[in-house]
Amino acid sequence: MVGQPQGSGDAAEQAGEPEDARPSSDDARSAFTPPLGVPLPPVPEEEHPTSEFTLPEGLKAPQQTDYSNAFTPPEGIPVVGPLARPGSPWQDRMRSLVRMPLAERPVPERPARVEESESTPPVPRVLDLTLRIGELLLAGGEGAEDVEAAMFGVAHAYGLDRTEPEVTFTLLSITHQPSLVDDPVTLSRTVRRRGTDYTRLASVFGLVADITQGEVTLEEAYRRLAEMRRNRHPYSKWALSVASGALSGAASLLVGGDALVFFLAALGAVLGDRLAWLCAGRGLPEFYQFAAAAMPPAAIGVSVALLSQHTDMRIQASAVITGGLFALIPGRALVAAVQDGLTGFYITAAARLLEVVYLIVGIVCGVLLVLYVGDRLHVQLAPDVVHHGDGRPVIQLFASMLLALAFCVLLQQERHTILLATLNGGVAWLIYGALTTAAVKPVPATVMAAGLVGLFGQLMSRYQFSSSLPYITAAIGPLLPGSNTYFGLLNIAQEDVNRGFEHLATAGAVALAIAIGVNLGGELARLFIKTPGQETPLPGRRAAKRTRGF
């Protein structure tokens, strides 16, 4: 060592002292070692490590303060127990988390998961299963927020907490990042085909519920998902065609038709449905399918009007055409579009609205083509449709329930949900008819009736622990603006464009009233109604603050 006299090391070794036992300099002495001659302090009887944050004895802890408006509570983000309680629906549990930013998201208690072959499932397989489940939900017509809640619930149940699902109209993606220093894993899936099958949708909801409760392994979830894809639809094509005819006939009764009008409207709807199936088999897009499906009811209505001019028969041709339009109006797509917009999914809402516009334009093209031909033939098409709620309340109530029943078959619903959905449709028409009889305007009456539909639909779905769509979509059928749509198209065909667009604007306002009412009723049910088996209310769901103009 530099500066050390030679031979000192040898002297130390000769003295029998190890080299490490002596300090090399005075600087090696610890700052906590007392100097020579100073006695050591007494050893405490028991070790009591303390901290400057520990409260002294005798001092009471301060009472817990409400920090709900703070960004991060002083005690940290707590573990939210009610989110993992099996008594509450998984939609509410996961929607509460999805609406929060990732940095402020609490950690819910994860239920015990059954894993036979592996302790931790591989991340890519969990994300792939999550995307496949989200694809079935989105293709079945579920709202974007509920799809995200389902995807987050599946990922969380298998141990992936730091995940961010994203849903648009045709694309689903999910990102998982284990920590801030690890690389994220992102998978995406495209939804190319859409089909309405609420039986399959209910099966997917049951699978998600079992996964979130920790009752299904990853391999078993894949097996059940494959069985859902292989299962056939519960109703055949001819059963759907007959249901379409019954729906149109019931709609014609709602607007003042009789038994003959019921038969003619049903015949036109069946012919239109078979023509649409033919176009679909040839690979034509949905726009042309809707245009083709709208032509037979309009042609039968024009033929009936032409026959009435040359004979003594008086058949309401407008009721025949209006009934045919009821089966084609995309009510569920419009409700889903407005629901996505109200919950903040603006891209998906805009895409759904654009889809609705294209489908309605297809209906307009098909009906206008036939009405234009009838106008060239000097067919007198007068708006002889009876307004909603005027006269024949018993017949109209029966027709509304028959319409909802036919809608249930068209939506491929499970048989045990048909009765409740049919009753919900009858209640919707009963409320609407009572309000219009009391001189309430159609748009506010539609909002109130649709709000009750959404409220009752949420109640029924919560008692069944399933999706609310089977109980809502069919029930709003009697409220769809079929007559205003027909009046608008008829006036446009007769070159009265201003009045035609006035009726079409009224139809659009009624359709938006249906969508807003359904969404409002569902939100009220989630906020104020406690689910059976739920002991404590769920924590508040954070939403985006208003922008205040910037």
DSSP character string of 7-69:
THHHHHHHTT--GGGS-SSGGGS-TTSPPTTPPPPPPPSS-----TTSPPTTPPPPPP---TT
Domain match, 289 and 218 both: no
pLDDT at 173: 93
Domain match, 374 and 486 both: yes
C-alpha distances (whole Å) from 305 to each of 308, 316, 377, 380, 499 are: 5, 8, 11, 7, 22
CA angle 458-461-467, nearest 5°?
100
Domain match, 213 and 267 both: no
Per-residue pLDDT of the chain (550 residues; tens, 9 = 90+): 444 444 444 444 444 444 445 444 454 455 566 677 777 666 555 555 454 445 556 655 555 444 444 444 444 444 444 444 445 555 555 665 665 555 555 555 555 554 444 456 788 899 999 999 999 988 888 888 888 888 988 988 888 878 888 888 889 999 988 877 778 889 999 888 777 788 888 889 889 888 888 888 888 999 998 888 887 778 888 888 889 899 989 988 888 888 888 999 999 999 998 898 888 888 888 899 999 998 998 899 888 888 877 777 777 788 888 888 888 888 778 778 887 888 788 888 898 888 888 888 888 888 888 888 887 887 777 654 444 445 678 888 899 999 999 989 988 888 888 898 999 999 999 998 888 888 888 888 888 998 888 888 888 777 665 778 888 888 888 888 877 777 787 777 777 888 888 888 888 888 888 888 888 887 777 776 654 444 444 444 455 444 444 4
Distance CA 425, CA 45 (A): 78
From the list 76, 146, 131, the residue with the least C-alpha distance to 107 is 76
User: What are the residues facing 174 on neighbouring strands?
Assistant: 165, 187
Name the token pair of 476: 């709003």
Identify whether 543 is part of a domain.
no
User: Which of 196, 230, 264 is the last residue before a domain boundary?
Assistant: 230
Identify whether 10 is part of a domain.
no
Residue 45 phi, psi (nearest 5):
-65, -45
Find out whether 256 and 235 touch, Cβ atoms under 8 Å. no
pLDDT at 267: 92
Domain match, 376 and 396 both: yes
Domain match, 122 and 250 both: no
Domain match, 154 and 251 both: no
User: What are the residues facing 189 on neighbouring strands?
Assistant: 172
Domain match, 186 and 260 both: no
Distance CA 338, CA 348 (A): 10
Find out whether 372 and 176 touch, Cβ atoms under 8 Å. no
Residue 174 phi, psi (nearest 5):
-145, 140
Domain match, 369 and 459 both: yes
User: What are the residues facing 187 on neighbouring strands?
Assistant: 174
C-alpha distances (whole Å) from 505 to each of 136, 500, 501, 508 are: 34, 9, 6, 5
Identify whether 134 is part of a domain.
yes
pLDDT at 188: 92
- Strand 163-167 vs strand 171-176: parallel, antiparallel, or unpaired? antiparallel
Distance CA 165, CA 187 (A): 10
Distance CA 102, CA 164 (A): 8
- The H-assigned helical ranges of 217-258 are 218-230, 237-254
Residues whose CB falls within 8 Å of the CB of residue 491, separated by 6 or more in sequence, listed in order: 497, 499, 500, 503
Other Cβ atoms closer than 10 A to 117: 8
CB under 8 A, 24+ apart: contacts of 99-104: 99/541, 99/542, 99/543, 100/542, 102/162, 102/164, 104/71, 104/72, 104/77, 104/542
Identify whether 429 is part of a domain.
yes
From the list 261, 140, 119, 273, the residue with the least C-alpha distance to 194 is 140
Q: Is 352 exposed, middle or buried (0-12, 13-18, 19+ CB in 10 A)?
A: buried
Count up the domains in the chain and report the number: 2
From the list 372, 365, 370, 425, the residue with the least C-alpha distance to 396 is 425
pLDDT at 326: 80
User: Which of 203, 230, 257 is the last residue before a domain boundary?
Assistant: 230
User: Which of 230, 248, 280 is the last residue before a domain boundary?
Assistant: 230
From the list 385, 382, 384, 380, the residue with the least C-alpha distance to 309 is 380
pLDDT at 128: 92
Identify whether 199 is part of a domain.
yes
Domain match, 155 and 268 both: no
Find out whether 274 and 434 touch, Cβ atoms under 8 Å. no
Identify whether 452 is part of a domain.
yes
Distance CA 152, CA 110 (A): 13
pLDDT at 72: 44
Distance CA 292, CA 425 (A): 28
pLDDT at 464: 60
Find out whether 518 and 450 touch, Cβ atoms under 8 Å. yes
Distance CA 147, CA 169 (A): 11
Residue 233 is given by DSSP the state P
pLDDT at 114: 47
pLDDT at 172: 92
Domain match, 205 and 124 both: yes
C-alpha distances (whole Å) from 316 to each of 85, 192, 322, 328, 369 are: 57, 42, 10, 20, 20
Find out whether 486 and 322 touch, Cβ atoms under 8 Å. yes
Domain match, 363 and 496 both: yes
Domain match, 339 and 369 both: yes
Distance CA 270, CA 267 (A): 5
Domain with 417 in it: 237-528
Identify whether 11 is part of a domain.
no
pTM above 0.75, yes or no: no
Identify whether 391 is part of a domain.
yes
Number of H helices, E strands in the chain: 18, 3
